[in-house]
């Protein structure tokens, strides 16, 4: 378990001193995937850096399974992908991955197999691995970054904007790898501005704003927060359908695009709304729900 207690961190001195984290307390259970979201400068990367032991909090404590973050046994079980990938640009992709495999404590005899396997999992072919990192696109760098973070199937994964700058296929590859790690029980902390991706993979989301923890939302499980639902029916009868749902107690309204928006609905509410529409003879073409993180994000501000 990751326990963050009352962590504060400031940069600079005197008048230029700025608080990056201000009394953040948070617990992340084993096997949980936590999303960190917030505006630029909210302190997300600072928090990740503290979790990795690269920065030391001014106040408060961080313990990972009871140990300090820079304990070697914690690092041996961790994978980290940084946001900014300006590293070792004279190395080839293969040399970079080989180096990180060995640094992670991997068996040197398995280096070739592991590197090829990891590269294959993120969609990097052998030709790409032979090229220098300086020739890689942003998306390819992100993929190689994800590949090195997943070496040795780490129990703890710290990912900072892993899909930033990647094409839709890259986003899907990164998502699949995160879900794979989640399935095998890894504890994941994901810092991302891609709210839709955060929603798809995270169990909880922490909102950071100006260094403070502005809120935590549970996205999955019995304690999950109500979600927003969108139902697509016959646009000509959408107003009528929205009225019907409103009369049955739903916070329903017709959207300009002809869909019906239901605010604050649980899964069973959505099923009930679809049933009510079907019973009344409204065709239901599509029904989907989302955590509407953008609204939560705005609310947190």
Q: How far is the CB of 34 from another protein (least distance, A)?
A: 16
Q: How far is the CB of 79 from another protein (least distance, A)?
A: 8
Q: How far is the CB of 233 from another protein (least distance, A)?
A: 42
* 254 lies in the binding site for another protein (CB under 8 A): no
Q: Please answer whether residues 42 and 24 qualify as being in contact, where contact means their C-beta atoms are separated by less than 8 angstroms.
A: no
Of 45 and 187, which has the nearer Cβ to another protein?
45
Binding segment toward another protein, per CB under 8 A, in 68-76, 165-173, 220-228, 260-268: 68-76
Identified binder of another protein from the candidate list 31, 41, 226, 235, rule CB under 8 A = 41
CA atoms within 13 A on the CB side of 181: 33
Binding mask 95-134 for another protein (x = CB under 8 A): x---xx-xxxx--------------------------x--
* 294 lies in the binding site for another protein (CB under 8 A): no
Of 104 and 233, which has the nearer Cβ to another protein?
104
Of 62 and 270, which has the nearer Cβ to another protein?
62
* 45 lies in the binding site for another protein (CB under 8 A): yes
Q: Please answer whether residues 190 and 201 qualify as being in contact, where contact means their C-beta atoms are separated by less than 8 angstroms.
A: yes
Q: For the packed helices 168-183 and 138-149, what is the interaxial angle rounded to 10 degrees?
A: 10
Binding segment toward another protein, per CB under 8 A, in 24-32, 84-92, 214-222, 276-284: 84-92
Of 210 and 220, which has the nearer Cβ to another protein?
210
Kindly determine how many residues on this chain lie close enough to bind another protein according to the rule CB under 8 A.
44
The residue ranges that bind another protein (CB under 8 A) are 11, 40-46, 48-49, 52-56, 72-73, 75-76, 78, 80, 82-92, 95, 99-100, 102-105, 132, 148, 158, 160, 191
């Amino acid at each position: 378990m990751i326990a963050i207690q009352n962590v504060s961190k400031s940069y600079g001195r005197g008048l230029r001193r700025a608080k990056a984290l201000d009394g953040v307390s948070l617990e992340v259970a084993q096997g949980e995937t936590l999303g960190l979201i917030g505006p630029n400068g909210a302190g997300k990367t600072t928090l990740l850096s503290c979790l990795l032991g690269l920065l030391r909090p001014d106040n408060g404590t961080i313990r990972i399974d009871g140990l300090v973050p820079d304990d070697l046994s914690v690092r041996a079980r961790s994978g980290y992908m940084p946001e900014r990938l300006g590293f070792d640009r004279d190395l080839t992709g293969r040399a970079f991955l080989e180096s990180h495999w060995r640094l992670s404590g991997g068996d040197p005899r398995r280096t070739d197999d592991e590197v090829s396997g990891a590269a294959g999992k993120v969609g990097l072919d052998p030709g790409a691995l032979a090229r220098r990192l300086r020739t890689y696109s942003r998306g390819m760098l992100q993929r190689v970054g994800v590949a090195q973070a997943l070496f040795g199937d780490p129990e703890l994964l710290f990912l900072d904007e892993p899909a930033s700058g990647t094409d839709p296929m890259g986003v899907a590859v990164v998502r699949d790898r995160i879900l794979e790690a989640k399935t095998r029980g890894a504890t994941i902390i994901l810092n991302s501005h891609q709210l839709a991706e955060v929603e798809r993979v995270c169990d909880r989301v922490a909102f950071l704003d100006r260094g403070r923890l502005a809120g935590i939302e549970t996205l999955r499980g019995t304690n999950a927060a109500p979600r927003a639902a969108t139902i697509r029916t016959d646009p000509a009868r959408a107003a009528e359908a929205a009225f019907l749902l409103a009369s049955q107690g739903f916070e329903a309204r017709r959207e300009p695009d002809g869909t019906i928006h239901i605010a604050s609905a649980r899964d069973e509410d959505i099923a009930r709304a679809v049933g009510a529409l079907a019973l009344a003879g409204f065709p239901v073409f599509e029904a989907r729900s989302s955590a509407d993180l953008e609204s939560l994000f705005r609310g947190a501000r």
